[in-house]
Amino acid sequence: MNSSKKIHDIVYKQIIYLMYTSRSFGISPRADAISKIRRNATTIKISNIIAYTIATLVSASVSLITKNAPISFIFLDLIILANIFTTGLNVVFFVINYDLKTFLLSLPLSENEVNMAIIRGILEFFYYGFLVSIIIAPISTYIITSSLIQALMAELEIIFFFSFSFALVLLLGRRIRLGISSALFRVGTSLIWIVFILLPYGFTFRSFSLPIYVLPIYPFGFINMYGISLSLLYTILSIFFAFNQTSKFVYFRSTSKRATRYVIRLQSPLVTFLFKDIKGLLRVPQASFLLTIPVFALIFSFFAPVYAVFYTIFMIATSSMMLILLEASGMQILLSLPSGLRSSYTSKLIVVLIIYIIDLLIFSFFNHEILGLIMLPATIASVELSLFISYNNVIKGKGLRIADPISLIVREIEINSFIGITALLLFFTNLIYSLIFSLVSFMVMSIISFRKIR
């Protein structure tokens, strides 16, 4: 037992080492990286506990308004999905691509011990936050609503979304391949967010009750016999799904690896990088979420057009930090190419701009194109800041450093600062001040970025 714990702890810390250094980008880690692994491992666990505790208490508090705890816990569901997908895909990527299983099998360990250690090592990134949620959620729900049924439904909902998300990450992780089919798979996975969370959440913008035809999609929001029965069934199925994918994952072994070749034409590097990045969005799961943002923009626009604009902008800015992964181990090559970094940097801005223009066309059908245009310069400035921080950290050998929720939250605050200030000026002063700040932030970040990124 102690041996098993030691093994999974080693796996956990090894994954952290890969995520917190720049080994995944082909750059040597800093000399003090290894000494920080223990602290980083503890930080991840503590930050998960803090983040999940806050999200759980906020969700429970919202039930004071909605009078329906399961609907209120949609906020926590989104946190669970975002945390597991953002961190989980990275974790699974490193476990598979660095073939930790092959290394562990070279030790005097049985295959079952190795399999258990790998799964336990992956779960360490989410386990403590999940444990906090399933303990606090029913207690806080009962204190606020005085309803055992709502407390039960909240508990089932959390277990369902955690099991379902974890299973999807393992399923998706085994399919990190090149090509359009895997990209469509990832887009399809993101659409599940719409079916099970965003769609019912959209109804709550106008009323705190759900139409009966949503019952088969989101039974947790129905406090009756049908809702309880379906919720219990869905939760059992999600647990079975998680066990099934766990079993397939631990016995999965990568049979072949194929190098990806890119031809860089130095006479027009920007165009070459642009095509490379567009193809990369179909290959890198963490960055491919950008492709689904127009779909989310369209869905939300039907329910709350103004909210759709700001949600879309937030997701573009936040997701942009993952665009650095499109370079992977080719970062060293970029450093040796004339204007390689700048071309790579600029191409990613163009990709984001294309996605934003598509969203802007969607907003125009709902008469919110002016709001989208005002926010455009600030959004690009936020993306520039996001890319600048990522490129700078990777070049210096620090890596992305966003594995734990606290680091991720700090990065998101930094990135969305321009957007936030522009929005505050828009709603509390007037349109002119907001537009001026939006344009100035864009010009300042462009000057800084293009002076530093060469």
Q: What does the pLDDT read at residue 175?
A: 63
Q: Tokens for 129?
A: 């936050």
Q: What does the pLDDT read at residue 180?
A: 41
Residues 6 or more apart whose Cβ sits within 8 Å of residue 443: none
Condensed to tens digits (0 to 9), the pLDDT of residues 11-32 reads 887 777 766 654 444 444 555 5
**Rounded to the nearest 5°, which phi and psi values hold at 152?**
-65, -45
Condensed to tens digits (0 to 9), the pLDDT of residues 61-117 reads 888 877 888 888 877 887 787 778 767 777 887 777 666 777 777 777 777 778 888
Q: Tokens for 113?
A: 């011990």
Condensed to tens digits (0 to 9), the pLDDT of residues 364-414 reads 888 888 888 999 999 999 999 888 887 777 666 665 555 555 666 677 778
Q: What does the pLDDT read at residue 235?
A: 95
Condensed to tens digits (0 to 9), the pLDDT of residues 306-335 reads 877 887 888 888 778 777 777 655 555 665
Closest CA to 394 of 91, 28, 87: 28
Q: Does position 226 have pLDDT exceeding 80, yes or no?
A: yes
Q: What does the pLDDT read at residue 209?
A: 65
Q: What does the pLDDT read at residue 202?
A: 55
Domain ranges of the chain: 1-254, 266-454
Is the Cα torsion angle 90, 93, 97, 103 positive or negative in sign? positive
Q: Does position 179 have pLDDT exceeding 70, yes or no?
A: no
Task: Kindly report the average pLDDT of the chain as a whole number.
Answer: 77
| Cα→Cα distances 141→149, 155, 224, 230, 423, Å | 10, 9, 17, 20, 33
Amino acid at 334: L
Q: What does the pLDDT read at residue 407?
A: 65
Predicted TM-score of the model (pTM): 0.63
State the average pLDDT over residues 271-278: 79
Condensed to tens digits (0 to 9), the pLDDT of residues 52-73 reads 898 899 888 888 877 888 888 8
- Name residue, tokens 């031809």: 263
Q: Tokens for 402?
A: 């966003």
Condensed to tens digits (0 to 9), the pLDDT of residues 421-434 reads 998 898 888 889 99
Q: What does the pLDDT read at residue 27?
A: 45
Q: What does the pLDDT read at residue 26?
A: 42
Cα 375 from Cα 442, distance rounded (Å)? 10
Cα 239 from Cα 165, distance rounded (Å)? 10
